[in-house]
Amino acid sequence: WLPLQPYQASFTQLNTLPVPIKEAVHFASCIHINKALEQVLVGPTVKKVNVTGILNFKRNLGLYIMIVYALVQYAGTCGVGQLKDCFMPMTQLVDLIVSDDLERLDHTTFKCVASGGKYTHVMPDHVVAVVEKFKETSVAAAAAASSSMFFKSNKSKAETTVGLKKSVIDAVLKQLKTIGPMHK
């Protein structure tokens, strides 16, 4: 597949390295890509976000993840497994932000799966960084959030818009701040 050819060429060059070094390079590369993608949302570059933007990011992330999975499959042929786990923090962060689970956060949300955690690779401070960017946003796609308590709907004849409920945003932020930052 054409987008993977540069990566495949690079990974092929790693075959001459000892296995531990080769694996370290693969993992370091994938972790770096994941952190760069996370910074798009949690870093200072993006000042405001809305649901449409997050959903578009998720769609583009899905395409990127397909490329990454193809790359991971190729890397698997080189003897390096579990690279897809490097992308769990980003995919889980986006999934949490666009889901109704955001409204129901508790202390188990970020715990291990055995403790009931669904978003085990997400750091609460990253969720705070994204949710705080929603505070100043007033318009988003109605279709994306029409059934969620997280959003309020203002229907007009010309269009339907969705604005974030400030009270829910504040409650989510308060809950996240009581959970505290986690460094994984």
Q: Which residues contact 20 (CB under 8 A, 6 or more apart)?
A: none
Question: Is the distance from CB of 177 to CB of 132 less than 8 angstroms?
Answer: no
How many residues in the chain?
184
Q: What is the pLDDT of residue 158?
A: 36
Q: Is the pTM value of this prediction over 0.75? A: no
Q: What is the pLDDT of residue 75?
A: 61
Closest CA to 104 of 92, 115, 118: 118
What confidence category does residue 10 fall into, taking pLDDT thresholds of 50, 70 and 90? Answer: confident
Q: Is 62 exposed, middle or buried (0-12, 13-18, 19+ CB in 10 A)?
A: exposed
Distance of CA 110 to the CA centre of its chain: 14
Please state the rounded mean pLDDT for residues 41-64.
81
- Residue bearing the bigger pLDDT, 6 or 121: 121
Give the least confident one: 78-82, 86-90, 175-179: 78-82
